[in-house]
Every structure is written in C-alpha cells, then in structure tokens.
Amino acid sequence: MPPKDLILGFDTSAAHCAAALISGDRVLVQKFEPMQKGQAERLVPLLQEVMDEGGSDWSDLSAIGVGIGPGNFTGIRISVSAARGLALALDIPAVGVSGFEAQAYGQKKPVYSIIEAHRNQIYLQKIGENTVAEPQLLAREQKKFLKSEQVVGTSLEDSLPNICLPAFPLAVAIAYLAAKRYRTQQARPAPLYIRAADAAPPRDPAPVILP
C-alpha cells in the first residue's frame, strides 16, 4: 500500500499561531496558541515542533496548506511568505486556503461563512457544493438576513442564534483542503485581504508578493 500523503497546514491570520500535520485522514499533531503578537518569531519553531511530534522530516511532506485570510494583514503576510519559502526550499506545492473555506469544511452546503472583521463589521462568503460567491465586507447589522440560513463562524460578539462552530480546528481544515487540491492547484498562495490596509502608505513602495 502506498504511503499516505503528509500535509502540513498552518495559519496566523488572527491573534494566534495554528498548525497541524495530517496523514491521509489521520491528524498526527494539532497545535493552537493564542497570541496578540509575536507570530513571526513563533511560527517556524511551532512548525518544527509539529514535525518533531509527528515523527516526520521536512523531506517527508507532500504539500503545505496555508491560511490566506481574511484577517490581520501582518499575520496573513507572515504565513503566506513562510509557506512560499518552505515550498520553494522543499520543492513541493503550497496551497492557499481561505478562512471561509476552512470554517465551511465538513459543513452541510450551502453555508454562509462569517469571520469577525472588527469595527462593527464582518467578512462573509456563501459557499455551495460546487460554487463560491465573492467574499464581502458588511456592517454587522446587515447580517439580519442570515437568520434563516445555514451559518458557520466563531468569535462574533452578538452571534446569530443559528450559527454553528466549525467542524474541524482551523489548521486541520486547512491541511485537509490542501490535501484535496495540491495535485491540481497551480497558483501559489496569495493574501486575501478584502479590506484596504488601515495604515497610511509608506513613502517607499512595500515589497510585492508575486503571483
């Protein structure tokens, strides 16, 4: 019997560092560390811990899955850059997975996936079995129409009565989705910001993440 694909998934799109290692349907290691800052320093050591606890070498990986947002701009760039660098060094595919898709994984479709956007706003995307709507940034009060819909999400200050929690931990869902896609997906991971950056633009142009 051929060996199962070994997939590493991780995410720093919000106030956390999350990582998981899967082999086929098995979750070998799963870690989630809440943190407001320090993801850039913590991510690579965390990934090494996950690999070590899984009894695996980096060369054993078949692919990498990474969360691309939406969420914290700096956090998204940290993960996407790390995924691209690892994929290049290991000569394996890296697959970008949105937070919407990760939350909706394992849910009955269609489902509206909601992510907290702060400032009294939410990110929203409708995900069907074979179709995905464009993601949106909405004022929180606009979500009233969702009261009769299937909804998945976490951490909403005034959660809808019909909202359900994701079926899998974030990094685990990212790894599972990467496992399904890495053989056919050609595009490299790219950040999914949706909302424009808050900070004033610097005098010098920022580094560009190539497509």
Report the predicted TM-score, pTM, of the whole model to 2 decimal places.
Answer: 0.91
Q: In 3-state terms, what secondary structure has residue 116?
A: strand
Q: Nearest 5°: phi and psi at 185?
A: -80, 125
Looking at residues 34-56, what average pLDDT do you find? Answer: 97
Per-residue confidence at 199, pLDDT binned at 50, 70, 90? very low
pLDDT score at 158: 61
Fold classification of 100-164 (topology level): Nucleotidyltransferase; domain 5 (3.30.420)
Mean of pLDDT values over 178-198: 89
Which top CATH class is 6-98+168-181?
alpha beta
Tell me: pLDDT of 78 over 70: yes
Q: Per-residue confidence at 156, pLDDT binned at 50, 70, 90?
A: low
CA-CA distances (angstroms) from residue 19 to 40, 42, 150, 211? 14, 11, 27, 24
Mean pLDDT of the chain: 91
Determine the pLDDT at residue 122.
93
d(CA 111, CA 103): 10
Query: Is residue 71 scored above 90 in pLDDT?
Result: yes
User: Are the CB atoms for 146 and 112 separated by under 8 Å?
Assistant: yes
Query: Mapping DSSP to helix (H, G, I), strand (E, B) and coil, where does residue 31 land?
Result: strand
Going from N- to C-terminal start, the domains of the chain cover 6-98+168-181, 100-164
Buried b (16+ CB within 10 A) or exposed e, 70-85: bbbbebbbbbbbbbbe
Kindly report, residue by residue over 128-147, the tens digit of the pLDDT. Answer: 999 999 999 999 888 888 88
